[in-house]
Amino acid sequence: MQKRFVTIWFRHLLTDWLSLRRPELRDIPFVIVIKDHGRQLITASNSLAETEGIVPGMLAADARAIIPSLEIIDDIPGKGNKLLKGLGEWCIRYTPLIAVDPPNGVILDITGCAHLWGGEREYLREIVTRLRSKGYDVRAAMADTIGGAWAVSRYGKVKPIIESKGHSDALLSLPPAALRLELQVLERLQKLGFRTISSFMSIPRSVLRRRFGALLLQRLDQALGNEEEPIQSLLPVEPYQERLASMEPIRTATGIEIALRTLLEMLCKRLHQEGKGVRTAIFKGYRIDGKVVQMDIGTNLASHTVQHLYKLFELKISTLEPALGIELFVLEAPKVEDIPPQQEALWAGKPGLEDVTLAELLDRLAGKVGPDKIHRYLPDEHYWPERSVRISSSIKDKPSIRWRSDKPRPVQLLARPEQIEVTAPIPDYPPMLFRYKEKVHHVKKADGPERIEREWWLESGQHRDYYYVEDQNGQRYWLFRSGHYNGDGSNEWFIHGFFA
């Protein structure tokens, strides 16, 4: 596919922004200045001041001689770059590949995007019209190369859209400054009488390199498409992303649902072909007021099933506020995983962790109660109870060891043992009763002790003697005494878990 680029030139970026913030400046000439060795140097002028011949680089004192009533405003350091970044992020609705071009430009890689707006002419008109409606004086051009589009947007006088393969002819009549050359090179070209690019394009390259340096040849090659010019995207582009532009702003839940299902079908078709599935997905809506609303989901197993993923998103559609309308929908899958091919069962097998329906059930539950409410635990290779269980991050994780079944272990293990008051015969008999959270439990059945030593290679401390007890209500607990019985009644007892 032939590459296509759009460059946008904000002719009065800072002054337009100030006029939007301070409407009283719209009808008067004003400039922005910086202090330079005790002087005020103009860095930007609005259109009214520019028509009187006041341009960046002039001294404020000289400008005041031309327009005595000229308004002078101090520059805000870094504001221009911040504005460009914000405008670039706004342009993300037109293409995912955006780069800022300081001090007053934005570059868009629009390859494969223009047809979503009905063609290149309508696409460019939409961008320019929207930016001008926001109060910015802009010029834009479209070409096969960044250099070609940049040159035409700044110096072109005929048409802003250069047909594919036509950028060479479009450059011939433009001045050398259209090639983004350094000031010293431009002055040298002017002294030698080179007023247009066509006047030196046919000169041997070795001569141009010797007289004007390698940058001239590089810029010429970039503009002609002989050398690729990389851009640094303002926002990272997810490798699995689908976009859907709407001809009219979408404000209804039904419209959002249709857009979501359409994007899911597009994304899942691609993932299915590549043998992959979604683990996390983000659905974004770009509103006409410039704000972005979004919702995200996660899955326990990689999935490219449209219906399942749609149900997960469906739980959150009510949280997506369209306001005045959404004009662009984007579906991203920042995390995907391979889906191993599965043999179709000829008869009903035993359900397990590999069962897709189990993963889909967990996904739906997580969507309702939150992913932090569902956990899966696996045995770990430790004797000490607090370290004998670990939380699994995926349903596909396999345990390194078997669950211990030779000794009883509680279904719920407290993260930290809680101290209790105990009445117990001496020295190693189980408790007769214990008090936990101001409630007295009389022990009817008990078993133990089971001694568990600390893992001396990890930490030092006393061992524990555990007892498995049942109270008068049939509830079962895991209690322990810390250390050996010392005979003075100072032993500490703790509750550590609850059995089913």
Q: What is the CATH number of the domain that holds 194?
A: 1.10.150
Please give the residue range of the domain that contains residue 334: 241-338
Same domain, yes or no: 252 and 333: yes
Query: How confident is the model over 168-195, as pLDDT tens digits?
Result: 888 999 999 999 999 999 999 999 999 9
Same domain, yes or no: 252 and 319: yes
Whether residue 363 lies inside any domain: the answer is: no
The burial of 12, by beta-carbon neighbours within 10 Å (0-12 exposed, 13-18 middle, 19 or more buried), is given as buried
Whether residue 375 lies inside any domain: the answer is: no
The model's confidence at residue 488, banded by pLDDT at 50, 70 and 90, is low
The model's confidence at residue 350, banded by pLDDT at 50, 70 and 90, is low
Same domain, yes or no: 109 and 218: no
Query: How confident is the model over 375-404, as pLDDT tens digits?
Result: 777 888 887 888 888 777 776 777 777 777
Same domain, yes or no: 84 and 138: yes
Same domain, yes or no: 200 and 281: no
Q: Is the pLDDT of residue 348 over 60?
A: no
Same domain, yes or no: 188 and 128: no
pLDDT at residue 383 in the model = 78
Whether residue 366 lies inside any domain: the answer is: no
Whether residue 393 lies inside any domain: the answer is: no
Please, what is the average pLDDT of the chain? 87
Lowest mean pLDDT among 228-237, 306-315, 344-353: 344-353
What mean pLDDT is predicted for residues 309-317? 89
Query: How confident is the model over 82-140, as pLDDT tens digits?
Result: 999 999 989 988 888 999 999 999 999 999 888 878 899 999 999 999 999 999 999 99
Same domain, yes or no: 13 and 150: yes
Q: Is the pLDDT of residue 405 over 80?
A: no
Same domain, yes or no: 117 and 218: no
Domain endpoint, select from 126, 155, 184: 155
Q: Could you tell me the CATH number of the domain that includes residue 94?
A: 3.40.1170.60
What mean pLDDT is predicted for residues 61-71? 92
What is the percentage of the chain residues whose pLDDT exceeds 90?
A: 53
Domain endpoint, select from 122, 155, 188: 155
Same domain, yes or no: 134 and 187: no
Q: How many domains does the chain have?
A: 4
Same domain, yes or no: 11 and 135: yes
What mean pLDDT is predicted for residues 259-285? 92
pLDDT at residue 345 in the model = 42
What mean pLDDT is predicted for residues 365-375? 74
Same domain, yes or no: 174 and 261: no
The model's confidence at residue 346, banded by pLDDT at 50, 70 and 90, is very low
Whether residue 23 lies inside any domain: the answer is: yes
